[in-house]
């Protein structure tokens, strides 16, 4: 083959480092973005945080002093008096600098010679960095709580080992998943011979710990333990014990007709028994909360201003950055030295970083405004007015790619008068209506939740009945779709929602 030269025109997207950085910043959450900015501030001397607020405060104070105004004179005098009182306190302690030993060894600990001042161990005054929830929140698990009670309970060494093995098998809900025979086998490996009756006795003692009913092997056993803790003269206690011990299957299937026949109770009497059972806790371990508080920082705020919905970025999600003019002025164009190359490289990276941040904010604001424009009905009337929306709709409106919309709506949150929602919450599929329109799946879920909330508990709505009700409103949804939406909202079927009360 003869080699030839050819000219070809085409378009190609090159993933430059600047573009990669912009895409990476776009998909970061608020917390990840703050960490990225902090890392950039530490690594790049050309970046600095704008502190206009502090400068404005200092300038305003200077103007007041120049004008001769002294509105805080009384406060200054009080502060001086307080300072004098603190000086008297330190004077009362004596001149500690005179008592420093001259032969202090270089490897000695300062705290071993002079104790740390009490104020240093305090919460740090009124600083903004003080984490009240982090220092005062509890991280105690259910096992820790049970072991603490075990240490206060007099037991033999063998029984204590049995109890520790049982507590290790308790789930966060308070149920025991370990078989007693497995506990016996594990103790035999340590050359400890015990009988199942002894393990059973230790289990009964643990089940009396707080919360009552913990370490139960089944729901009916858990409820029976709690029921037997009630006073003997509690109305309908004996009947409730019989229901839990002998007719748990009928109660689980809500077969109240058969249950009344077996118990020889009337409907109002069975209702009293069920009310007593419903007051018990089938998940006693859930009362020992171990979850740490999780906070969501909204990226955008939505509020109504003069009848129009306004969207603004949250100014507190990231500090305002700028290029350090002092360091930037040191860059010389014609100098190719190592120091100048270092400054020039960091200056270019700082400008790219600031440009990527600005692009991220502009894209986020543009997408949020378009979402609010489409979902004004939700802001005005709630979930039932939610319109169907997909990524392609927003991408066409803002003239961006769907992948960009997907990145900018992931882990980004919007603060609205109806609560804080992730941007992806406003996207949903749709079903057709009789009039040729569309109804979003979010609105259908809201309607289903509303219908079930208003149903007669003695005759709950079945999925077929809900389908018929929606058809009367012009919304064509299959019964299996109703069942799927209901299960996604953790709503049980009609036979499990039936109540006698």
- Give residue-wise pLDDT tens across range 238-297: 999 999 988 888 888 888 888 889 988 898 899 899 889 989 999 998 888 666 667 788
| CATH fold for the domain made of 430-497 | Arc Repressor Mutant, subunit A (1.10.10)
Partners of residue 170 on adjacent β-strands? 176
Question: What integer is the mean pLDDT of 440-445?
Answer: 88
Does the pLDDT at position 189 exceed 50?
Answer: yes
The stretch 101-124 carries a mean pLDDT of 44
Residue 134 has pLDDT above 60, yes or no: no
- Tell me, what's the pLDDT at 39? 92
In the chain, the largest separation of any two C-alpha atoms, in whole Å, equals 106
Find the DSSP H helices in 375-473. 376-381, 391-398, 402-408, 441-453, 463-472
Quick check: 51 pLDDT over 70? Answer: yes
Q: Which long-range contacts (CB under 8 A, 24 or more apart) does 50-55 make?
A: 50/319, 50/320, 50/321, 50/322, 52/320
Q: How far is residue 427's CA from residue 11's CA, in Å, rounded to a whole number?
A: 32
312: helix, strand or coil: strand
Cα–Cα nearest to 442, from 489, 409, 479: 489
Residue 479 per-residue DSSP state: H
**How many whole angstroms separate alpha carbon 392 and alpha carbon 378?**
20
Which contiguous run of DSSP H or E holds residue 205?
helix 196-206
- Tell me phi and psi for residue 308, to 5 degrees: -120, 145
**What pLDDT does 85 receive?**
42
Region at 275 (left for phi over 0; alpha for psi -120 to 50; beta for the rest): alpha
Q: How far apart are CA 19 and CA 13, in angstroms?
A: 10
pTM of the model: 0.65
CA distance 176 to 166: 8
Q: How confident is the model at residue 215 (pLDDT cuts 50, 70, 90)?
A: very high
Give the pLDDT score at 87: 44
Is there a contact between 369 and 311 (Cβ–Cβ < 8 Å)? Answer: yes
22-31, 197-206, 361-370, 393-402: which range is least confident on average?
Answer: 22-31
The total of other beta-carbon atoms located within 10 Å of residue 150's CB is 18
Q: How confident is the model at residue 370 (pLDDT cuts 50, 70, 90)?
A: very high
Break the chain into its structural domains and give their ranges.
142-287, 300-426, 430-497
Long-range residue pairs from 17-22, CB within 8 A, at least 24 positions apart, any chain:
17/352, 18/352, 18/355, 18/356, 21/352, 21/353, 21/356, 22/355, 22/356, 22/359, 22/360
Residue 249 near residue 189, CB atoms below 8 Å: no
Q: CA–CA separation, 391 vs 406, rounded Å?
A: 7
φ, ψ for residue 203 (rounded to 5)?
-60, -40
Residue bearing the bigger pLDDT, 406 or 108:
406
Q: Residue 279 in 3-state DSSP?
A: coil
> Which two tokens mark 148?
């603490």
Whether pLDDT at 332 is above 90: no
Q: Are 361 and 321 in contact (CB under 8 A)?
A: no
Question: Looking at residue 423, what is its pLDDT?
Answer: 93
**Can you give the pLDDT at residue 315?**
87
The pLDDT of residue 302 is: 95
Q: Which of 14-18, 113-117, 385-389, 477-481 has the lowest mean pLDDT?
A: 113-117
Confidence of residue 441 (pLDDT cuts 50, 70, 90): confident
């Amino acid at each position: 083959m003869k080699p030839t030269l050819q000219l070809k025109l085409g378009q190609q997207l090159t993933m430059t480092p600047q573009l990669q950085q912009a895409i990476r910043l776009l998909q970061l959450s608020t917390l990840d973005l703050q960490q990225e900015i902090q890392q950039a501030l530490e690594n790049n001397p050309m970046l600095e945080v704008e502190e206009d607020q502090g400068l404005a405060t200092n300038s305003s104070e200077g103007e007041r002093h120049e004008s001769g105004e002294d509105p805080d004179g009384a406060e200054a005098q009080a502060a001086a008096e307080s300072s004098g009182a603190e000086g008297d306190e330190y004077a009362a302690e004596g001149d500690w600098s005179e008592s420093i030993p001259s032969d202090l060894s270089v490897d000695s600990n300062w705290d071993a010679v002079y104790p740390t001042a009490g104020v240093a161990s305090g919460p740090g005054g009124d600083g903004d960095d003080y984490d009240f929830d982090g220092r005062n929140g509890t991280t105690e698990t259910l096992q820790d709580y049970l072991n603490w009670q075990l240490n206060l309970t007099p037991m033999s060494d063998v029984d204590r080992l049995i109890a520790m093995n049982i507590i290790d098998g308790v789930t966060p809900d308070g149920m025991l998943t370990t078989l007693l025979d497995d506990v016996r086998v594990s103790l035999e490996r340590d050359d400890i011979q015990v009988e199942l009756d002894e393990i059973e006795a230790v289990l009964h003692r643990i089940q009396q710990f707080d919360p009552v009913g913990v370490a139960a092997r089944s729901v009916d056993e858990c409820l029976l333990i709690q029921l037997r803790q009630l006073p003997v003269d509690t109305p309908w206690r004996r009947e409730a014990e019989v229901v839990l011990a002998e007719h748990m299957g009928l109660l689980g299937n809500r077969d109240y007709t058969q249950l009344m026949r077996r118990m020889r109770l009337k409907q109002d009497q069975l209702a009293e028994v069920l009310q007593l059972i419903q007051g018990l806790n089938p998940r006693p371990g859930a009362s020992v909360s171990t979850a740490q508080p999780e906070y969501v920082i909204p990226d955008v705020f939505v509020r109504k201003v003069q009848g129009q919905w306004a969207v603004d970025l949250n100014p507190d999600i990231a500090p305002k950055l700028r290029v350090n003019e002092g360091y930037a002025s040191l860059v010389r164009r014609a100098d190719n030295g190592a120091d100048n190359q270092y400054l020039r490289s960091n200056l270019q990276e700082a400008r790219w970083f600031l440009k990527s941040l600005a692009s991220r904010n502009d894209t986020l604001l543009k997408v949020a405004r378009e979402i609010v424009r489409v979902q004004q009905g939700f802001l005005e009337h709630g979930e039932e007015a939610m319109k169907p929306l997909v990524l392609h709709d927003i991408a066409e409106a803002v003239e961006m790619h769907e992948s960009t919309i997907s990145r900018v709506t992931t882990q980004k949150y919007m603060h609205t008068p109806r609560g804080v929602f992730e941007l992806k919450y406003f996207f949903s599929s749709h079903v057709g209506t009789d009039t040729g329109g569309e109804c979003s799946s979010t609105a259908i879920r809201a309607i289903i939740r509303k219908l079930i909330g208003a149903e007669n508990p003695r005759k709950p709505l079945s999925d077929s009945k809900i389908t018929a009700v929606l058809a009367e409103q012009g919304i064509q949804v299959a019964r299996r779709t109703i069942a799927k939406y209901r299960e996604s909202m953790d709503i049980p079927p009609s036979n499990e929602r039936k109540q006698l009360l």
